[in-house]
Structure 1
């Protein structure tokens, strides 16, 4: 199976799990934040398949941190986007330091799974 296809399927599966985690009562909210980071990681791997190892972690982490930090902005355009369903899922609603930790855990988990499992399948 081609690596790009694997990352695409993993991203789609993560989207489904992430939405389900927000709809099912009893699943802690931080699970959705970790899944969001997984999605970003798999998305970057899909886009930048041949990126060097440090960038496989740095770029998705910078993206997640940028999304979280932009939540501190009260710019009218950003607020309007965040009030839509899709905007809320992508840009979030309010800044939380704990989300930065969840993103770090999620990307670390995705990287570990990628390096120790999927890279062996693809190779």
Structure 2
């Protein structure tokens, strides 16, 4: 019976992936590059969700990709649904630069689709990374 090897995600690689994703997200919203309309509308939200996935990987480095993806979807969707709540104190936070980047402003179903896509893409990348690590460990046996 083959034993299941538990792979812990690298606490160097995954914060690095989060940082690169943040930079790409900020770049997608900047005036430094001109993106096609579809990308300029949706890239930022998709990359934000990917960043959430990478950070969830850092918080739970030894759990399966599916579990991390569910945590990331739960967090991202919670943030989006929180935009339906418009308390003054929360809107004051949303009107700061960091608050706007993290909490957003208004609920959009398209954001939920972007989050699902971003997390799905990140989960696919994560699975490839972990499979590669597993095959490296097995080849050393």
Partners of 1:14 and 1:111 lie apart in 2 by: 14
In structure 1, distance between residues paired with 2:115 and 2:34? 22
State whether residues 45 and 56 of structure 1, in contact with CA within 8 Å, keep that contact through their aligned partners in structure 2. Answer: yes
Residues 20-42 of structure 1, C-alpha deviations (whole Å, 9 max, x = no match): 00003334220001100100000
CA distance in structure 1 between the partners assigned to 2:122 and 2:101 by the alignment: 20
Check conservation: 2:21, 2:47, Cα contact below 8 A: yes
Runs of 4+ off more than 2 Å? 24-27, 120-123
Aligned to 1:122: 133
* In 2: Cα distance, 1:122 partner to 1:15 partner: 25
Gapped regions of structure 2 (runs ≥ 5): 1-8, 135-141
Aligned partner (choices 92, 101, 108) of residue 80 of structure 1: 92
Tell me how many residue pairs correspond in the alignment.
121
- Scaled by the length of structure 2, the TM-score of the pair is 0.81
**What is the distance in 1 between the residues matched to 2:64 and 2:103?**
27
- Residue 25 (structure 1) aligns with: 34
Q: CA RMSD in A?
A: 1.4
Q: Which has the higher helix share?
A: 1
TM-score, normalised via structure 1 length: 0.92
Q: Which runs of 5+ in 1 are unaligned?
A: none
